[in-house]
Amino acid sequence: MRIDIISIFPKMFSAVLDESIIKRAQAKGKVKIFTHDLRNFTLDKHRKVDDRPFGGGSGMIIQAEPVFRAVEAVKKKIKGKSKVILLCPQGKRFNQDYARKLSKCAGLIFICGHYEGVDERVRLHLADEEISIGDYLLTGGELAAMVVVDSVVRLIPGVLGDKNSLNFESFEGNLLEYPQYSRPAKFRNWPVPGVLVSGDHHKISLWRKLEALKRTGLRRPDLLKNKSNRKEQQ
């Protein structure tokens, strides 16, 4: 997969892209990630990318021109087709299913807004999709892009060492993950559930399934509802 990120703060990304699993995914050749400074695509000699909103109002709007030029320049470089994604609080809410869908794409181009947002013509005539990471406002699309990139990259086959770690995670099959414990078997006054140290794998697997169901019912009953809706549709 190839990922291109367009932002006025491209340096923000190194903290996430140059560490841990995403760094290793790039080293293994599973994903190529490029950041682009939106200011390199302005026609303005002061590299200005924003202007006041028509009709008045507070704040500045990222102009359409540099964003179109940036995306068009990136598209010219890539052979395959890339999906253009605008990070936007008014977009479709991001979740694990959405991440899985994006992980199958050959290429993704992310546009990070800032200030009061982005000229509407980017949304209307350039973006293929708009993603929101939740019902709250960030100052810019950079953190949102990092959230999406992180959750998508870890789903690319071969990025995580153990395939099973993907199958049993929260939100897979509309369930939350069962409780996890590690050594020591007794910490302070709290022993781990006996079944986990019993060595009986059948019992452990049953316990985990039950705990996952219990926990999902208590914390996220909406997920269980989705699960049964899906079954009915099948």
Which residues sit at the interface with ligand SAM, rule CB under 6 A? Answer: 87-90, 112-114, 116-118, 132-134, 136-141, 144
| Nearest to ligand SAM of 7, 216 (CB atom) | 7
| Least CB distance to ligand SAM at residue 146 (A) | 11
| Nearest to ligand SAM of 7, 103 (CB atom) | 7
Token representation of residue 130: 């708009």
Query: Rounded to an integer, what is the distance from CA 37 to the centroid of its chain?
Result: 20
| Least CB distance to ligand SAM at residue 90 (A) | 5
Strands 83-93 and 129-132, sheet pairing:
parallel
| Nearest to ligand SAM of 151, 216 (CB atom) | 151
DSSP 104-133: T-SEEEEE--BTT-B-HHHHHHT-SEEEES
| Least CB distance to ligand SAM at residue 14 (A) | 19
| Least CB distance to ligand SAM at residue 91 (A) | 6
Ordered alpha helix ranges (H), the chain: 14-17, 20-27, 64-77, 96-103, 120-125, 142-153, 164-167, 201-219, 221-233
Token representation of residue 181: 């414990």
The verdict on whether omega for the bond into residue 184 sits within 30 degrees of 0, i.e. cis, is yes
Quick check: 15 and 149 in contact, CB under 8 A?
no
| Least CB distance to ligand SAM at residue 119 (A) | 10
| Nearest to ligand SAM of 109, 112 (CB atom) | 112
Closest residue to ligand SAM, judged by C-beta, is 113
Which residue from 118, 29, 25, 110 is spatially nearest to 74, judged by alpha carbons? 110
| Least CB distance to ligand SAM at residue 101 (A) | 17
Secondary-structure breakdown of the chain: helix, strand, coil percentages, each rounded to the nearest 5: 45, 20, 40
DSSP state letter for 171:
T
| Nearest to ligand SAM of 129, 169 (CB atom) | 129
